[in-house]
Amino acid sequence: MVVNHGFHATVTARPGRGDEAVALLLDAPSLPHPDCVVFLVGRSASDPDVVHVTEGWTSQQAHQAFFATEEAQAFVARLQPLLVGESQYTDEVPAGGKADF
């Protein structure tokens, strides 16, 4: 599949709640979605409450349609209370690379 739409998000969890935010993100409903080609979760090495998410989707329309679903909205509702401040988003289309876990 080809990634035509994506973004990189940086969010900050409430103090001490970075582990919860990461665990929730790693169980995100978009992971098994066929139009979600890339979904990576990382953490700041210097601040465990700063979490980075990179997503790549087959299209912007597929991403928008997925996030309009009840399942996605319920996920966002569970994640939001764990976060503080404004999340930072940058549009990004992953071009390639490697992720071995």
Domains in the chain, start-ordered, CATH in brackets? Answer: 5-91 (3.30.70.100)
pTM score, whole prediction: 0.90
Question: Biggest alpha carbon distance in the chain?
Answer: 38
Could you list the pLDDT tens digit for every one of the 101 residues in the chain?
789 999 999 999 999 999 999 999 999 998 899 999 999 999 999 999 999 999 999 999 999 999 999 999 999 999 999 999 999 999 988 788 877 77
